[in-house]
Amino acid sequence: MLIEVRGASVSFGSREVFAEVDMTFPDAEVSALIGPSGSGKSTMLGAVSGQLKLDRGHVRWGAASDAGSEPDPDLVAWVPQSASLLGHRSCVENVALAGLCRGLPRSAAMEMAHELLADFGLSKVALTPAGRASGGERQRICVCRALATGRPLVIADEPSANLDAANTDLVLAAFARLAGSGVTVIAASHDPAIVGVVSHVEYLR
Amino acid sequence: MKRRDPRVSILEWATEAVRNLAPWRSRGFLAVALSVVTGGVAGLMLAASASAYQADQDREDLSGAQVVVLGEESDPDSPLISRASCEGLARLPQVRAAGTARLMGYRYFPRLGRVAVMAVSPQLVQFGGQQILVGADLADRSGLRGPGHLADSDGVGHAYGVAPRQPEGVDLNGSVVVARWPDAQVRSCLVWLQSAVAAEAALPTLVSQLELQGQGQLAVRANPESGAAAQRLLGRSDRAAVLLLGMLVGAASGLFRRLRPADAASYRLSGASRMALFTLVLVEDLICASAFVAAGLAMIAVSGGQVLGPASGLWVGAAGLASLVTSLPVALAVVLPQPIGLVKD
Ligand SMILES: Nc1ncnc2c1ncn2[C@@H]1O[C@H](COP(=O)(O)OP(=O)(O)OP(=O)(O)O)[C@@H](O)[C@H]1O
Ligand SMILES: [Mg+2]
């Protein structure tokens, strides 16, 4: 799904985060949103997903201007910047939750969760409480959970912040496969190294 | 493009709730533990205060506050009261016991010494099939436990029991009591009112039931404080305190939830709608409220079930409901925001 941002401005009080920003995120591709810390990447992703109102400008999904639709947070799989998990539940249960919320029976949701964790090299922590997993493991669990929602738009806020090079490659490869199956992926990052790996880049400064 | 919220069964949310509440030292476990402890405290408070007030009331009862004396034994101008109408007062709902008592004389019993013998109406003191009763103080002093046989000075045995302690004003605790009564008319009538009854309110009914003969004015002796202990029992504040405890534990469990927004965020990021998350919160809080009520009822059962009516159980239930009613609005703070709002916290 093509996403267009036009004339977007957001301020918090007197602090202007960004103003008059235009961006396009192409359908079924992995886009990167690059900018330094505090430039408003998380804020922009919030607006793109429909969770945050722009002060001025608009975000349209599907097509430019009037032909598109308003953003719908219920269609977005969100990978948060700070890994939010149920710390006392196992890693696999955390991922299975997304299957459960789609209406899958618990057993099917668990099976899917185990497969996703295996894809990201997390089988050995599947049964440990998520609160005990390492920062990088937790971040990948959040990616697995987002994939398990089966939603057509994946928005990842700094998905590689805590990952080593090998795991960053793993996540980006998974994003590329998703895009190949028609899912639109947007990943924010302050790491310019990501630029070479994605098919589209937008900048905030 | 809008997808419908898939139907996740309430059973799945119940499973989720149990798994969130069970892990040792989790937020949920803390909430359940707190519910159990405060529920137990609530039950204990109800039981303790009810038995304290009950003791207060028993003391007040025995102090004679509930005794009304109609007529005047020593005044020859006092109107005559038909004995049957005096004893008939015992049937009134406001009355615990009623009848007449008169000193018959003094007698020697080898076990007791020389003691007063009182003749009383069986409507005033329950004889329970015994021929004679030994007053409570007299029995204490003489080491009698009863029932048994008590010999008089002629060596004749009488089946006796120990009388239940009588209030002041019904002065039988130091005497031997018999149920013989020759007179059809008496000059005074003793009435022991039920604990909750104020004498002032009951007097017109009592007097109107008496059959009187004679011109004089019927003397009345009653305690203006009568019924006060029962009023204190009804007006006690432990029930409000129990409700307050329920609200406190509800607020605390709501607060625990706000302190861990990541939990709520996890469900929303997994695709749970606000309604679905609220369902989960509701089930979790229902379990906590049930734990509160169960602990409260258990405490009542072990610590004072006999003095407490079913009303106490209802108050514990009401407090459990109060905890739910308090925690749910607090929970809205994590149910309503968008996930990015929760993750930011
Ligand atoms: N709810 C808010 N209230 C006030 N200020 C906010 C709020 N959200 C963001 N900001 C401010 O807006 C600016 C942009 O924040 P944002 O989180 O979008 O930056 P970012 O590019 O994602 O940074 P980082 O790379 O560190 O995550 C920051 O200065 C931040 O302090
Ligand atoms: Mg950010």
User: Which residue lies with its CA nearest to atom 7 of ligand 1?
Assistant: A12
For range B28-42, the mean pLDDT: 95
User: Is the predicted pLDDT of residue B60 greater than 70, yes or no?
Assistant: yes
Distance from the alpha carbon of residue B344 to the mean position of ligand 2, in angstroms: 10
Q: What is the pLDDT of residues B73-132, one digit of tens each?
A: 888 888 999 999 999 999 999 999 999 998 999 999 999 999 999 999 999 998 888 889
Which residues of chain B are within 8 Å of residue A97 when distances are taken between CB atoms?
16, 266-267, 270, 272
**Cα-to-centroid distance, A136 and ligand 2 (Å):** 17
Nearest one of A42, A62, A71, A76 to A147, comparing CA atoms: A76
Q: How confident is residue B169, by pLDDT bands cut at 50, 70 and 90? A: confident
Contacts of B267 in chain A (CB under 8 A): 97, 101
Q: Which residue in B266, B267, B345 has the most chain A C-beta atoms within 10 A of its own C-beta, making it the best mutation to test that interface?
A: B266
Per-residue pLDDT band at B69 (split at 50, 70, 90): very high
The pLDDT of residue B2 is 47
Percent above pLDDT 70 for chain B: 95
pLDDT at B146: 74
For B210-225, the pLDDT digits (tens) are: 999 988 888 888 888 8
Shortest Cα–Cα distance, B331 to chain A (Å) = 17
Helix (H, G, I), strand (E, B) or coil at B196: coil
B4 pLDDT more than 60? no
Closest listed residue to residue B251, CA positions, set B163, B323, B345? B323
Name which of B28, B263, B343 is nearest A80 (Cβ-Cβ).
B343
Shortest CA gap A48–chain B (Å): 12
Residue B43 and residue B51 in contact, taking contact as beta carbons nearer than 8 Å:
no
The reported pLDDT for the residue numbered B307 is 56
Please report the residues numbered 166 through 185 in chain B whose beta carbons come closer than 8 angstroms to any beta carbon of chain A.
none
* Residue A116: predicted pLDDT: 97
- Predicted local distance difference test score (pLDDT) of residue A18: 96
Identify which of A23, A42, A155, A190 to mutate to test ligand 1's pocket (most ligand atoms within 8 A of the CB). A42
Ligand 1 pocket member A17 (CB < 6 A): yes
Atom 10 (ligand 1) nearest CA: A12
For A194, half-sphere exposure in the C-beta direction (CA atoms, 13 angstrom radius) is 30
The pTM of the full predicted model, rounded to 2 decimals, is 0.80
Low-confidence ranges of chain A (pLDDT < 50): none
Q: What residues form DSSP beta bridges with A30?
A: A185
- Residue A122 Cα to ligand 2 middle (Å): 25
Of A87, A98, A142, the CB nearest to B271: A98
pLDDT at B15 over 90: yes
Q: Tell whether A192 lies on the interface with B, counting CB pairs under 8 A.
A: no
Q: Which one of B7, B16, B266 has the shortest CB-CB distance to A103? A: B7
B96 and B226 Cβ atoms separated by less than 8 Å: no
Q: What is the pLDDT of residues B269-321, one digit of tens each?
A: 999 999 999 999 999 999 999 999 999 999 998 886 655 667 788 999 999 99
Instruction: Please report, to the nearest 10 degrees, the dihedral formed by the alpha carbons of residues B149, B118, B223, B128 taken in order.
Output: 30
Q: What pLDDT is attached to residue B8?
A: 83
Average predicted confidence (pLDDT) for chain B: 89
* Atom of ligand 1 minimally distant from the CA of A45: 18
For residue A35, what pLDDT is reported? Answer: 93
pLDDT in tens, B170-193: 889 999 999 866 788 999 999 999
Q: Determine the Cα–Cα distance for residues A190 and B121; give it in Å rounded to an integer.
A: 100
Give residue B263's pLDDT: 94
Residue located nearest, by CA, to atom 17 of ligand 1: A42
- In the block, tokens 């990501």 appear at A194
Instruction: Decide if A132 touches B, using CB distance below 8 A.
Output: no
- pLDDT score, position B343: 83
The continuous run of DSSP H or E covering A166 comes out as helix A165-180
For β-strands A153-157 and A184-189, DSSP reports them as parallel
Which of B3, B278, B15 is CA-nearest to residue A77?
Answer: B3
pLDDT category at B40 given cuts 50, 70, 90 is very high
The residue in chain B having the minimum alpha-carbon distance to the alpha carbon of residue A131 is B26
How far is the C-alpha of B163 from the C-alpha of B157, rounded, in Å? Answer: 18
* Residue B31, pLDDT above cutoff 70: yes
